[in-house]
Amino acid sequence: MNTALRAAALVATLGLAGFSPARAQVRISEVASHSGDVPIRLMGYGLVVGLDGSGDRSFGTATGSVQTVRSVTNLLRRFNIEIPGDRLRLRNVAAVLVTAEVSPYLRPGAHFEVQVASIGDATSLKGGMLWMTPLVPAPDAAPIASAQGTMPAVMVDDRQRWGGSKGSASSHIADGGVLEVSLPAMPAQTAPMLVLHSPDLAVAARITAAINAARGAGTARVVDAGAVALRLPAAGADSSGAQAFLAGIDTLMVTVPMQSRIVIDAHNGMVVAGGYMRVGNAVVSLKGITVRVGDSTAKASPGVVNVGTGASVRDVAVGLQAMGALPGEVAAVFDGLRAAGAISASVIVR
C-alpha cells in the first residue's frame, strides 16, 4: 500500500475510533514548519568577567586553562595595556562557548537568547558578565552577530539542590544576542510543503484532514511521515497571496496524540512527565539505591524508596529526591524502570 492510501486509511480510522485516549489540540505551526525554514546556528568564544573567585583557576600551567590567560592578554592589548601572561591570576574570569539558534527571517537589530557554557575549570558563572563576543555561523565565517550581557544571579544547580554549595557553569542570557548583518535571503518555494517537527504518519494524516476540511479537498496530501504537500489556490499564486495562504494554514487547529515521555534534566535532576503517568511493579537497584514499586509495606531503610502499586512518576521522583539521589542516579533509575517494562513511556535524558 503506497503512502497516500495508507494516509487515507489512517484518516478514516482516526475519525471513527480515535487514535489515543490522550490528545491535545494545537495549531499546525506548533507541530510543523514550512519547508526551507531552517534555523541558523551561531557560535562564539568569549570571556565571562566579574566572577566571585569561581572562574578558571588552572592558570600558568602546562595542563591548565592557558587559553583564558592568552585571551585576557589579547583583550588588554587592544586597549594598549601590556601585561605578561605569567603575571595574571584571573580567578574572576572564565573562558566560555556561546551558542544560539536564530530564525532565518531575523533582521539586523533583532535580539535573541544565547547559551553560555564554561570550557575551562570554572565552577560557576553566576553573576558574571559576558564580554562582547562575536558570533559566527561557521568556524571560518565572518561574524554576523554579537553577544553580551549579565549572567543570572540565581541559577538552578545540581550541586546546590543535592547537597553542595557551588553555582552552575552554564546558563543563558535572555536577549543577550543581537543580529548585526542581514541573513541570506530565503529561496522561493515553488512547491510549498509542511515539515513535521517529529515525523509521525498519524499526525501527518490529521494535518492533511484538517487542511482539506478548511480549505477544500486536495489542498493538502501526505508525502510521507515527515511531510505534507500543499497546493496553492489559483487566486493566491503571487507572493503576497501565498504568504497569506500559508499564514492561514499555520493557525488551523489539529488534534494530535500526546506522546508518552519522561524528560530528565541530568544537570539539575528535574523530572517532567505528562499527567499522572503510572509506574508498574518493579525493583531497581543502583549503587546503594533501591526502588521498590508495588511494596509500600516494606520496612523503610536508608537508600530504599518504597512506593505502592499504582504509584506515579512523581511519587518515585519525590522519593529519590528526599533521599538525596544525584541527577545521574535519578536518570538511571527511570531508565531501569523503562527497561523492566514498568514504564511504557520513552525516557529522555538531556
* Mean pLDDT of the region 297-322: 82
**3-state secondary structure (DSSP) of residue 316:** helix
**Whether pLDDT at 330 is above 60:** yes
Sign of the CA dihedral with 217 first, then 219, 222, and 226 last: negative
Nearest to 56 by CA among 4, 156, 124, 108: 124
Q: What's the mean pLDDT when you consider all of the chain?
A: 79
Dist CA 146 CA 52 (whole Å): 25
What's 87's DSSP letter? G
pLDDT at 19: 35
The residue ranking higher by pLDDT, 264 or 24, is: 264
342 and 293 in contact (C-beta within 8 Å)?
Answer: yes
Please write the tens of the pLDDT for every residue from 182-238: 988 776 666 789 999 989 999 999 999 999 999 999 999 999 999 999 998 876 556
Please write the tens of the pLDDT for every residue from 31-83: 999 988 888 999 999 888 888 888 887 554 444 456 777 777 777 777 666 66
The residue ranking higher by pLDDT, 252 or 303, is: 252
**Whether pLDDT at 167 is above 60:** no
Q: DSSP letters along 91-127, please? A: TT-EEEEEEEEE-TT--TT-EEEEEEEESSS-S--TT
Residue 201 φ then ψ, to 5°: -65, -35
Residue 136 C-alpha cell reads as: 559566527
Q: Please tell me the least confidently modeled range out of 63-77, 316-330, 335-349.
A: 63-77
Q: Is beta strand 289-293 parallel, antiparallel or unpaired with respect to 304-307?
A: parallel
**3-state secondary structure (DSSP) of residue 211:** helix
Q: DSSP letters along 41-76, please? A: EEEEEEEEE--SS-S---TTSSSS-HHHHHHHHHHH
Residue 195 C-alpha cell reads as: 515539515
Domain ranges of the chain: 3-36+189-257, 40-179, 262-349
The residue ranking higher by pLDDT, 257 or 7, is: 257
Percent of the chain residues past pLDDT 90, beyond the cut: 28
Residue 74 C-alpha cell reads as: 589579547
Cross-strand pairs, 99: 43, 115
Torsion angle of the four alpha carbons 301, 302, 308, 311, in this order, in degrees rounded to the nearest 10: 170
pLDDT at 310: 81
297, 299, 343 from 321: Cα distances, Å: 20, 19, 19
